[in-house]
């Protein structure tokens, strides 16, 4: 049941990202609900299921976005693997640590995308990239508590707990 619910959440997040969240852009960025779900899947499920959910989320994002096909699926799988390994080294049970992890995952994702664009010959000026990466990471980090409250109520702890 938990896996079916998470699958529905991924489908809902894809729908929201390609439709409604475009109306809520701030500084021309929107929060990445799918990357929040990647963090939650990596922390909540065993690696096999987490990779399945992350690859599915990335493939759906690839289908609805203009990118190199399978780019997001591969990147989400890499991020899932890194988060799973990191969660074995440090404790990510605290609410604030989870929120900060979301910030760094989104920022790392933007860095990977920038490197891929630079490698393919598409140049993004550094100032624009840093502004976009910072605001997207910050915006996603601020939306993450709402998603945590819906998806995993035990993540929604008091910051002082």
- Any idea how long the chain is? 161
Name the residue among 86, 37, 85, 78 with its Cα closest to residue 57: 37
Over its C-alpha atoms, the chain yields an Rg (Å, rounded) of 15
Give the list of residues 6+ apart from residue 72 with CB closer than 8 angstroms, or none: 34, 57, 58, 59, 61, 62, 65
The answer as to whether 161 is a domain residue is no
For 34, the token pair is 């799918």
Which residues of the chain are modeled with pLDDT < 50? Answer: 155-161
pLDDT score for 161: 40
Contact 111, 129 (CB under 8 A): no
**Burial (0-12, 13-18, 19+ Cβ within 10 Å), 80:** buried
Q: What is the pTM of this model?
A: 0.88
CATH of the domain at 106: 1.10.1760
The answer as to whether 52 is a domain residue is yes
Handedness of CA 153, 158, 159, 161 (dihedral sign): negative
Determine the structural domain holding residue 88 and report its residue range: 2-155
pLDDT score for 158: 42
For 114, the token pair is 């920038």
The answer as to whether 160 is a domain residue is no
The domain total for the chain is: 1
Q: From CA 54, how far away is CA 33, in angstroms rounded?
A: 12
pLDDT score for 22: 82
């Amino acid at each position: 049941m938990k896996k079916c619910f998470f699958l529905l959440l991924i489908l809902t997040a894809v729908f929201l990202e390609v439709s409604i969240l475009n109306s809520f852009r701030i500084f021309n960025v929107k929060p990445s609900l799918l990357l929040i779900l990647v963090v939650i899947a990596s922390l909540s499920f065993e690696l096999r299921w987490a990779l399945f959910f992350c690859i599915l989320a990335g493939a759906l994002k690839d289908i609805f976005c203009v990118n190199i096909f399978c780019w997001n699926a591969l990147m989400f799988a890499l991020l899932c693997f890194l988060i799973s390994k990191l969660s074995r080294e440090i404790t990510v049970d605290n609410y604030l640590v989870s929120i900060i992890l979301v910030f760094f995952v989104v920022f790392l994702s933007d860095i990977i995308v920038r490197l891929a664009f630079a490698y393919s010959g598409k140049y993004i000026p550094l100032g624009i990239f840093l502004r976009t990466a910072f605001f997207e990471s910050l915006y996603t980090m601020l939306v993450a508590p709402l998603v945590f409250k819906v998806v995993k109520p035990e993540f929604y702890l008091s910051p002082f707990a």
